[in-house]
Every structure is written in C-alpha cells, then in structure tokens.
Structure 1
Amino acid sequence: MSQSSPQQLRIASINTNGVRAAYRKGMGEWLAARDVDILAIQEVRASTADLQRLLGPEWHVLHDEATSKGRAGVALASRSSATVHRVDFGADDFDSAGRWLEADYDVGGTSVTVVSTYVHSGEVDTPKQVEKYTFLDAMLERLPALEAHNERAVVVGDLNVGHRRLDIKNWRGNVKRAGFLPDERTYFDRILGSEDDPAYNAGAGLGWVDVGRKWAGDVDGPFTWWSWRGQAFTNDTGWRIDYQLATPTLAASVTNYAVDRASAYDERWSDHTPVVVDYAL
C-alpha cells in the first residue's frame, strides 16, 4: 500500500511597517508570486477593512489591532479559515493588544497553531524597556502552554532581539542597545539554550527550535532587518530579528527556509524582509 504524500504548508512572516505603504511599494506583487498558505503580518497599522481590501476576498483575515490607532497591529491571513483564534496574552493589567495573535488551522487533517507576534522594540532605561521585558516574561509563560495545546505550533514575527552574535553584523557596537542587551538575549537562552550549550536549538531551554538558525547553520544572519539610513542594506549590515520558532515536532517537518531579501535598495517595500518556511505535515 502506497503512502499519501505529505501536506505542504508554506508560512510567511513580515513586519510591513505599515501595510498600506508596503502595498504601494510592491508587497502585493511579492505575495501574488509566493504561493503562501498562511501569512503573518506585524505592524499592520491599518484597519481590518483596509487589510482585507488590500489582500482580497480570497484571504481569510484575523487581525488584532493596537489600542493606539496607527501603531503595532498583528494579523494572520490564510487561504482557509482558522478553526479558532485567541488574543489573550499576559496579565490582565498589561496592554498586549496588537502584539499577539494565535490561531489553530486544520491542514489536511493535521492541526497547526500559528502565532503572529510583535515584541516591543524597547529603549534602554525607559518604560518602553520595562514593557518589553513584561511582554517577554508573558511569552516565556505562554510557550509551554502553547506546546501542550498543540505539538505542532510556531511563533513567528518580529521578536526585536538578536539572540546570538551571528544575528547582528555589528554586534560589538550594539551590546548596550535595545535589541541586543544581555538581559534580552537571556530570554532566548531560556527558550532555545545559550550558544555555548551543546544542546542549543536541539532540546535546551524550553526545547523550541529557531528554524532560521537550524536551517542556515552558524553563519552571519541571514539578516531580516536593515536601517533605511546610509548604506546598511547595500552593505548587508543588518539584524536577524524576525523568527519562526517552532515546536520540535513541527520543526522536524521543515523542508525549506528562505529570507526574501530585495535585490536592490529601491525595490524594498519594508525595512524588514519576509521570512518564508515550508513545512511537510
């Protein structure tokens, strides 16, 4: 008896830095050519109606808007509708709106849970950094429950932390900046293990897998964010802060990982680039 072929699932994640502006610059053309099944968006910065209009009627849209209009916002768009979605995250007195959206999908009879998240950028010695740590605390608490809910789960999005020195081109010049602070990186040690741990990204910490690092190996990047200023993009002086963190079961099914870096500075439609992963379920 022959076995049926695996169900293919392509998940893409992108911080659009404003989806309306991204569409004006070419996001729609990228999406039309990429054959994505589930699209996670961060920094939507638009209404649900705007997002649905841009994507088109063939997409099922879930959108958690930020409390402050025109800020943050996370979304999940899919070819078939989710079976259920959730936005509750963190303590009741903490405003996480527009930063955490999780949904369960039935993919050929297999349940997959996808989270689109946008971690605070933070700012050293300010309330913004306190908010970032509060969010990361909630994330650490949620991850074990998420895996208990579904052994095939993935947290994708702009996590605004470069975990390892390989994740930032100019890491020496950024050790005192939000995004590469030792305290921030320790959170990722607790999720994935430290870079000096023999079981890093293979069972250490909470056991989750950084799909990008697993696929690329110990190389610089591949980076996912570059400043608009100067020659950062041209010189590939970037940061890898956009992730797909998967449970071990789901990570074992990865068949391809790609960073869709624009071929030239003037072809960019966001300061981030899409991260696209194929899973064979």
Structure 2
Amino acid sequence: MPSKPLRIATVNVNGIRAAYRRGMGDWLADRGVDILALQEVRASTDDLTALLGDGWDVVHDPATAKGRAGVAIASRHRASLHRVELGGPDFDTAGRWLEADYEVGDRIVTVVSAYVHTGEVDTPKQIEKYRFLDAMEHRLPELAAHSELAVVLGDLNVGHRTLDIKNWRGNRKNAGFLPDERAYFDRFVGAEGDELANHGAGLGWVDVGRRSAGEVDGPYTWWSWRGKAFDNDTGWRIDYHLATQALADTVASYTVDRAAAYDERWSDHAPVVVDYAI
C-alpha cells in the first residue's frame, strides 16, 4: 500500500491570534496538515504554541519589532535543524525567513517559511524589498544543494505573471507587480514563454501553483478586505510553493482553500495546500 502523501500548507495569518478568533483552528483541525508554514504571526512563541495545541513541533522566528511580521513552521515531525540566517551578517531578516529540516522516512525535506514585505515604489521600503529578494536569489541554489527535496513557502508579495493578478493593467507601476520584481521570478523559475519555465529554466525551481493550475487566471490567494474584492474574485496570487524539481515532481494535489464566503474568512490570504507523494 502506498504511503500517505506529505501534506504541506502555507498561509499568511495576518496575526495568528486574530485568525484563531475568526476560525483558523477549525480549518486546521479538519485539514490533515503535516507541515504548516505561517507568515505574519505577530505573536510570541508561547502564544503560538498555545493556540496550535498539542502534537505540533514549532520553530518560530519572531520579528525584530514586537507585533510585526514573524514567521513560523509547525510540524507533526520534529525539526532536526533550523536556521534563520539569510544574506550577510549585517542583514536582519526581521522575522521573515526561517528554514527547517525534517526527516521523512529516510529522506530530508527542507521547508522554508518566507515573508517578503509589500514594498512601496521610490521609498526605502522598496530598496529593502529588493535587498531581501537579492538575498533570496543567492540562497536558492544553496538550498537546492543542501537538499534535493526543498520548498520555499509563503507570502512573497510579487505577482509573477499577468495571470497572477486580476487587475494587472492597473498595477503595472505598483509594488508587487513591478518589472524588476517580476524579473526575480523569471530567474527563479523561468520567464513567461520559456518552454522550460517550471521545468528547469532559471535557477531550476518550480512554481508549483502555476505548474499545477496551468495557463489560467489565478487561482488567487489574496484579496483585500475592502470593497467587493473577495466577492468579485479580484485577487492576487502571491502565496507560493517554490519547490526543487525533485520535490515538485512528487506533487499529487494543489489546492487554494478559498473561504466559501466573505464572512467566513479568517485572513485576507487563503491557505495553499499541497500533497507531496514522497
């Protein structure tokens, strides 16, 4: 009998205490997740472990500034090693990058929870965003060399292609869809029109969502709380599973857990859940 796939999920919770008040715990209890990457935790490690409850091994990199970002990975497997370093020694990721290794059978799966902040055109925030993406681009080959089964999960705050943003024409000069931002993803997974995109182009990583969904709009993972964005599905696909080729080739299913209705949302992001048949 084949073994159960490894179910890995990622979600920007936009404050885990608020997410639990709105119903995140019910979702998690029923979803059968083995490894869960969280972004914008905005809570202490004690708060996080208390909310998740028993049975979870938790590694957490809180933000430098209290009440801000913060990334975590919760797993039914115990992490054998975790790391928070990204870039040079003078670069503070501010709770936005966390790596952990997990023993799954006789193999090591490396999981990263990453949060790339939004940025803002022509401001220091955008410069810092590019600095983070530069560090990420440098780290990806090292991760692939460290483990052939590696995945970078999280809110990366860039819509790579026109398929990834409903209103892409109106966002061409806005952070999140700038040509220079999108060019990083061309280098990660390959550019639009490249026949090897998500099959070895660029640095050889795979955008699991795009490979799984094909050439279709979305499926989106973020919608503004304001107006009718959610009801009209005017969203952005900015939450990713970026996997090594070897891991991407094991994908059995890809799902965006979009809430059934606006008032059932517990974050402005939807969880992205992937089964890996390792």
Same fold (TM over 0.5): yes
- What corresponds to 2:67 in structure 1? 70
Q: Structure 1 unaligned runs (5+)?
A: none
Contact in 2 for aligned 1:210/1:243 (Cα 8 Å): yes
Counterpart CA distance in 2 for 1:264 and 1:207 is: 37
2:244 is equivalent to residue 227 of structure 1: no
* Amino acid in structure 2 at the alignment position of 1:43: E
Measure, in 1, the Cα distance between the counterparts of 2:197 and 2:51: 40
Tell me if 1:26 matches 2:27.
no
Query: Do structure 1's residue 92 and structure 2's residue 118 form an aligned pair?
Result: no
Shift of 1:7: 4.9
Paired residue for 1:245, among 230, 242, 253?
242
Q: Which amino acid aligns with 1:66?
A: A
Q: Structure 2: which amino acid aligns with 1:240?
A: R
| Paired residue secondary structure (2:100) | strand
Aligned to 1:163: 160
> How far apart in 2 are the matches of 1:252 and 1:199?
14
**Partner Cα distance (2:72, 2:258) in 1:** 21
8 Å Cα contact 2:65-2:94 kept in structure 1: no
- Counterpart of 2:265 in structure 1 is 268
2:98 corresponds in structure 1 to 101
How many residue pairs align between the two structures? 278
Task: Indicate the SS of the match to 1:134.
Answer: helix
Contact 1:12 1:36 (C-alpha < 8 Å) held by counterparts? yes
Matched, 1:82 2:76: no
Tell me which amino acid in the other structure corresponds to 2:26.
E
Q: State the TM-score, normalizing by the size of structure 1.
A: 0.98
Task: Name the CA distance, whole Å, in 1 between partners of 2:4 and 2:267.
Answer: 31
**8 A Cα contact 2:219 2:256, kept in partner:** yes
Q: Does 1:115 align with 2:112?
A: yes
- The CA distance in 2 between the partners of 1:58 and 1:73, in whole Å, is 21
- How big is the shift at 1:93? 1.2
Aligned equivalent of 1:142: 139
Distance 1:6 1:79 in 2: 16
Task: Give the match's secondary structure for 2:79.
Answer: coil
The DSSP-based 3-state class of the residue aligned with 1:83 is: strand
Q: Confirm or deny: 8 A CA contact 1:7 1:107 kept in the other structure.
A: no
TM-score when scaled to structure 2?
0.99
Q: Which residue of 2 aligns with 1:133?
A: 130
Match of 1:153 in 2: 150
Deviation (angstroms), 1:108? 1.6
SS across alignment from 1:17: coil
Question: 2:10, 2:273 within 8 Å by CA — same for their partners in 1?
Answer: yes
2:198 matches 1:201:
yes
Alpha-carbon offset, residue 198 of structure 1: 1.6
Judge conservation of contact 1:43–1:118 (CA < 8 Å) in 2: yes
Structure 2 unmatched runs, 5+: none
